[in-house]
Amino acid sequence: MTRFSANLGFLWTDRPLPDAIRAAAAAGFDAVECHWPHDVPPRNVADALAETGLPMLGLNTRRGGPGENGLAALPGREAEARAEIDATLAYARAIGAGAVHVMAGVARGAGAEAAFRANLAHACDSAPDLTILIEPLNPRDAPGYFLSGSDQAAALIEALGRPNLKLMFDCYHLQIVDGDITRRLHDMAGLIGHVQIAAVPDRGPPDHGELDYRHVCAVLDDIGWTRPVGAEYRPPGLTEESLGWMARLGG
């Protein structure tokens, strides 16, 4: 049976993060994850997690300044990128999160590759107790983002050789960029650190669109995936009114 994590970057955004955690527990989610909780005191988040019994799977490094989408692949910004990585690792430990997604940013070329590799090595070596995630983003939603496909991510992971560096397999982004989700899940099973879902192409609830998530969940069973799958979609209205898919996919 597939279990699900509520991505609180998109779900229950009408309330403070601790209350969103409580709402996710009341709705029957098995875990939570978030984007940028950094401005919320970690004790408030940790208390809500302890109260509900939900694990926090992960969070992102900050995006940077206005118009930026991460810092880790930006040449010349290494000190700033590592400060953000270190702060996010500290926050993750304070709330008991298991993973940190290091955001690459808008960049291209050999200098960006070198900066990203060096910053990822810093993150992995600084946190052997945590999973470090990298996530390819599609160019429609994230124009110019350095990491744009699963093959590129796999090559980075294999080149760096850190056992705690893993792929965030976001089915929404990778269907747009790569397609062939079934084969990619099988081929990359050993590299995957987290899986996320949303409808394609509108990023709505995972109950419509060009991906059949009943099939995707069956594939995840086939490859032995047992951890919660992240529901990272944009509800068309109130989050509670968008949750009918959970019963259909979780059985």
Q: What is the DSSP string of 17-85?
A: HHHHHHHHHHHT-SEEE-S--TTS-HHHHHHHHHHHT--B-EEEPP--STT--BSTT-TT-HHHHHHHH
* Inter-residue contact 71 to 77 (CB < 8 Å): yes
Q: What percent of the chain has pLDDT over 70?
A: 100
193/225 Cα distance (integer angstroms): 10
Confidence of residue 112 (pLDDT cuts 50, 70, 90): very high
Q: 229: which 2 tokens?
A: 């799958």
> How confident is the model over 195-207, as pLDDT tens digits?
999 999 999 999 9
Q: What b-and-e string marks burial along 82-96, b requiring 16 or more CB atoms within 10 Å of the CB?
A: bebbeebbebbeebe
Domain extent listing, the chain:
4-250
Per the listing, tokens 């290091």 go with 102
> For residues 119 and 17, what is the distance between their CA atoms, to the nearest angstrom?
29
Instruction: Select from 1.10.150.530, 3.50.50.60, 1.20.1070.10, 3.20.20.150 the CATH code of 4-250.
Output: 3.20.20.150
Query: Using CB atoms within 10 A of its CB, is residue 143 exposed (0-12), middle (13-18) or buried (19+)?
Result: exposed
Question: Is the pTM of the predicted complex or chain greater than 0.95?
Answer: yes
Q: Which residue type sits at 116?
A: F
Q: What positions carry a catalytic annotation?
A: 135, 232
Q: Are the CB atoms for 33 and 56 separated by under 8 Å?
A: yes
Q: Is residue 162 scored above 80 in pLDDT?
A: yes
- pLDDT score recorded for residue 251: 56
* pLDDT value of position 1: 78
Tell me the mean pLDDT in the region 85-114. Answer: 98
Q: State how far the Cα of 220 lies from the Cα of 32, in Å rounded to an integer.
A: 19
* Amino acid at site 232: E
The size of the chain, in residues, is: 251
- In the numeric block, the tokens 């160019």 are attached to 139
Cα three-residue angle 139-141-147, rounded to 5 degrees: 45
pLDDT for position 84: 98
Q: Is the pLDDT of residue 104 over 80?
A: yes
Q: What is the mean pLDDT of the chain?
A: 97
Kindly state the DSSP code that residue 239 receives in the 8-state scheme: G
Q: Are 172 and 203 in contact (CB under 8 A)?
A: yes
Nearest to residue 248, comparing CAs of 41, 64, 26, 1?
A: 1
